[in-house]
Chain A
Amino acid sequence: MPDAAAPLIEARGLVKALGGRRVVDGVDLSCRGGEVIGLLGPNGAGKTTSLRMCHGFLRPDAGHIRIAGHDLATDGDAARRALGVCTQDDTYDSDFTVRGNLQQTARYFRPRIGNLAARIEELLAQFGLTEFAGQKPETLSGGYKRRLMIARAVVHSPRVVFLDEPTTGLDPQARVGVWELVAQLRAAGLAVVLTTHYMDEAERLSDRLVVLQGGKVRAAGTTRELLGAVVGEHVVVMPFAGPHGEGVGLWLRTRGVRPSTVLADWHFALDAAGLAAFVAEFSGLRYEVRPPTLDDLFLALAREGQP
């Protein structure tokens, strides 16, 4: 009997080299039904390669992947039947209408989808595509194209969905529309893995985050856990060009804190004791203290990669 609490995606020790370079180096990933995992990391961190291994585009050099209990390497057809993929690019079939795309995608799955006509009408309604059903996808706006892409990904009622940067290039209203769809997928009990460059999106949608850097998992956990572990408790923002810049720089160096430079400002993280010491040391200085965000996490990771 299948364990209801068992992860629907379970990837262990994934390794992949491309062009002689190890792009993914021992990545673990797991996701349960009704959970959204955000896969984050700077460009070249190994997100897309990890995702491509998980949905069967690429064969891992080492490690194994199980999708809904099926080993992707040895039971690939069953594993692929249980997963859906929304690619970063619009990869709908431009020779078919919106409805035709859903019908044609369904033909690429066995066992066949029961009562397909009803399933397609249900999806068209759920994704707000009914009025465009007879149109070619290229006539749709960016937001509706993305809706079609996600609808295609779930036409066969998978248990796992991979969304690769589903909102890139969309206006804010269309982004919110996609967020609502992701929330619906989670509510329907699907395991969702999504990659995004928008930190607010990752924070809003994900139950857990996995941060990749240099092909390895740098940190994993809830947003709060990650920020505490990688960034710190408080972030101080101050201009570095003022009269106190040199003194603050020296003070930070003695404490082993490396600030990130954003335009004319320094951003640096301090714990409570460090912040108290900073306030005491630079009482006349104007600066801003705010809670850390995922943007700070990215800056911190980028800083780690620098000499």
Chain B
Amino acid sequence: MNLAVFASAFAWQSRAVLGRHVRVHLRNWHTAMLPPVFEPLVMLLAFGVGLGRQIGDLRWAGAPLDYLPYLAPGILAYTAFMTAFFQSLFSAFMRMRYQKAWEGQLTTQVRLEHVIWGEALWAATLATAYAVAMCGVLAGFGLAGMLTLHWWWLPAALPLLLLAALAFSAIGLLFTALLPSIDYMGLPFFLVIMPIGFASSTYFPLPDVPWLQAAVQANPLHHLSEGLRWLLLRGEPTWHLAAAAGLCALLLLVLVPVDQRLLRRRVFGDV
């Protein structure tokens, strides 16, 4: 394995590209903060409170549980997944294809591997920042007496969320490399987001179907949701966390070299 592919994540050029994205984002921080705060708020109110009343109790880990506490850790995991995927796919694609920001960066000491790592690190950073905002929203529910979690585990979950977001961004970048044009942008949502999202225990417990239960063992979002759920509802770190970390690390090991190769071909017409 070519370790240089991973070493370039720590190069100053990758940080310079990350800094560019942070700078652009912070300039509009007042509007940029609206989605990470209001999206989970609306989701928790609409699904957790609204739909939760219709559902009543559900069974999780052999015990009855209200829908709102079931949903809260799932949304935290889903936020990291969606934000990272969307940023590394849609936003990166726009910067590469239409804005030509990548080509501008490549006329400097920044090389393509740095541009790619800069995009991945930014997607992961933003996803983690959104997760932090989500934690604030959950804390608000806690203060309102609507939600009880093992709060001290929340900060401990953030490094895992960062790793997971980095892995999900590697999937997004794969599609950035492959999609011929923006007209095909629906494809990854159909092929990745819907299957991973629905078969992940984020919004509802999965039915006890043997093949489905076997298939979700390969889904890092499922382990992330379940791991966070055990952590935040029971205060117990479980094997799900290790499985989520392992699968995400595996995704990074496999996808980052593939992303770099495919994007090199895409950007330069070279291999």
Measured CB to CB, the residues of A under 8 A from B are 18-19, 52, 55-59, 76-77, 80-81, 84-87, 89-96, 104-105, 107-110, 152-153, 156
Contacts and interface: CB of A to CB of B under 8 A. Distances in A.
A56 B13 CA distance: 15
B255 interface: no
B243 interface: no
Contacts of A55: 107
B152 interface: no
Contacts of A57: 106, 268
A170 B244 CA distance: 55
Contact of A19 (B13, B16, B20, B269): B269
B53 interface: no
Given A84-B107, A153-B107, A89 B16 contact: no
Given A19-B269, A93-B20, A110 B12 contact: yes
B270 A89 contact: no
Contacts of A77: 109
Contacts of A107: 16, 19-20
Interface string B176-202: 000000000000000000000000000
A18 B270 contact: yes
Given A18-B269, A58-B270, A93 B104 contact: yes
6 contacts: A52-B268, A76-B111, A80-B108, A87-B107, A104-B20, A156-B108
B107 A85 contact: yes
Q: Name the residue in B19, B24, B108, B110 with the highest tally of chain A Cβ atoms < 10 Å from its Cβ.
A: B108
Contacts of A81: 109
Contacts of B12: 110
A109 B103 contact: no
Nearest to B21: A95
A110 B109 contact: yes
B60 to A, nearest CB: 44
A108 B24 contact: no
Contact of A108 (B99, B103, B108, B269): B108
A262 to B, nearest CB: 34
B108 A90 contact: no
Interface of B: 12-13, 16, 19-20, 23-24, 99-101, 103-111, 268-270
A55 B110 CA distance: 12
A89 B101 CA distance: 11
Nearest to B106: A57
Contact of B108 (A52, A89, A94, A105): A105
A84 B108 CA distance: 7
A250 to B, nearest CB: 47
Given A19-B269, A93-B101, A94-B99, A109 B109 contact: yes
Contacts of B104: 87, 91-93, 105, 152
A108 B110 contact: yes
Contacts of A86: 107
Contacts of A80: 108-109
Given A77-B109, A107-B20, A109-B109, A58 B13 contact: no
Contact of B270 (A59, A90, A109, A110): A59
Nearest to B103: A91
B100 A90 contact: yes
